[in-house]
Amino acid sequence: MYRALLRHDPTYEGVFWLGVRTTGIFCRPTCRARTPKRENVEFFGAPAEALHAGYRPCMKCRPLDHGRKPPELVARLLVAVERDPLRRYRDAELAELGIDASTARRQFKRYCGMTFQAYHRARRMGLALADIRKGKTVTDSQLDQGFESGSGFREAFTRIVGTAPSRARDVAVLHAKWLETPLGSMLALADDRGLHLLDFVDRRGLERALAVLQKRLSARVLPGEHPVLAQIARELNEYFDGTRMRFDTPVVLTGSAFQSSVWRALQTIPAGTTNSYGELAARIGQPTAVRAVGRANGDNRLSIIVPCHRVIGADGALTGYGGGLWRKQKLLDHERAALPRR
């Protein structure tokens, strides 16, 4: 990491942040301020860790102002897959594009959590699933995906989708998209009914929330585009620009009747204002259920759009927020600052 800092290597953007003990400031790896000595540096996996350690953000590189943008090579690969998802991308094809295969695997894995080849296979099988569910035969879908072997196609499909192609019409799918925001990367999951999940990728308990959601819906998560994902991406940009404080993206509240009542109540708290947990409990007609309301608030899977960040302690203090108290404060400050511009 220190060697990456010396090179101001952009491929490490979003991978680590560094705190400088002599100044009390934390920075990005690409910061152009004077490079500190190695003994004066400590590294963090997230801005929140640096903040909790007592460091303040650098005014030069502004480590809190932008999302975790993909390295140029990763961005090129993502665009290439969407432009021509059925194209083969073996090492030789990548070389023709001027891309070193090992570099692609390493950077893609670091940014997306899976190798490029794994992502490409998942995207292709997602398209095959969509085609079969629209009425295309398994054989036609196999040929469209470039598989000469029927057994090879069935094996790949079953491994990624979780069932044989012949049973594709019974599979529920949640389309997944990685979104960049000024407060960090977010994961969004949606289907034709609406948005099921929107949360920061470094949130505590996100993997458990994903597992619970998939189990309840009996659904598979596959990377891909969807109109609901395009809508929430557009509305999030408008939210962070300060031109939108209400979301029109349809949402699906997957939980108990009590949890859903809490989540619906959260949506009635106006931007720029806050409620205590007690006020939220009274709002749903259960004033003694303060702790249960707090648990339901913590189980919310639709960050920002179902604004659990607008709930604070009875004494006005910020309390638990899965995305980190620093984000909760930034969201509240942003909404209060944006109100006159609505």
CATH number at residue 33: 3.40.10.10
Q: How far apart are CA 155 and CA 120, in angstroms?
A: 16
Domain contains 65? no
Same domain assignment for residues 53 and 82: no
Number of domains in the chain: 4
Same domain assignment for residues 155 and 97: yes
Query: Where among 27, 57, 87 does a domain terminate?
Result: 57
Catalytic residue chosen out of the listed positions 27, 31, 58, 61: 27
Residue 233's φ and ψ, nearest 5 degrees, are -60, -45
Domain contains 186? yes
Same domain assignment for residues 286 and 320: yes
Catalytic residue chosen out of the listed positions 31, 58, 61, 308: 308
3-class secondary structure, 310: helix
Same domain assignment for residues 164 and 76: yes
- 308 catalytic per annotation: yes
Same domain assignment for residues 225 and 286: no
**Residue among 33, 41, 34 at smallest CA distance from 1:** 41
Same domain assignment for residues 87 and 164: yes
For 97-106, the pLDDT digits (tens) are 788 888 888 8
Query: Where among 147, 168, 189 does a domain terminate?
Result: 168
Domain contains 251? no
Same domain assignment for residues 137 and 220: no
Q: How far apart are CA 174 and CA 207, in angstroms?
A: 15
Question: CATH number for the domain including 320?
Answer: 1.10.10.10
Same domain assignment for residues 6 and 85: no
- 58 catalytic per annotation: no
Per-residue pLDDT at 257: 92
Q: How far apart are CA 6 and CA 9, in angstroms?
A: 8
- Residue found under tokens 């910061």: 31
Per-residue pLDDT at 205: 76
Same domain assignment for residues 295 and 214: no
Q: Which domain holds residue 278?
A: 257-341
Domain contains 49? yes
Residue 334's φ and ψ, nearest 5 degrees, are -60, -45
Domain contains 67? no
**Residue among 144, 135, 215 at smallest CA distance from 174:** 215
Same domain assignment for residues 157 and 220: no
Domain contains 63? no
Domain contains 208? yes
Question: CATH number for the domain including 118?
Answer: 1.10.10.60
What pLDDT tens digit does each residue of the chain (342 aa) get? Answer: 999 899 888 767 777 899 999 998 999 999 988 999 999 999 988 777 787 777 888 888 878 764 556 777 888 888 888 787 777 778 888 888 788 888 888 888 777 767 888 888 777 777 777 777 667 776 767 666 667 667 777 777 776 666 667 666 667 788 888 888 888 788 999 999 999 999 988 777 787 888 888 888 878 888 878 999 999 999 999 999 889 999 999 999 988 999 999 999 999 999 989 999 999 999 999 999 999 999 998 889 999 999 999 998 888 888 778 777 878 888 998 898 877 654
Q: How far apart are CA 142 and CA 152, in angstroms?
A: 9
Domain contains 287? yes
Do 202 and 184 contact (CB within 8 A), yes or no? Answer: yes
Same domain assignment for residues 141 and 180: no
Residue 148 neighbours by CB distance under 10 Å: 8
Strand partners, 17: 44
Same domain assignment for residues 77 and 155: yes
For 132-150, the pLDDT digits (tens) are 766 777 676 766 666 766 7
Per-residue pLDDT at 342: 45
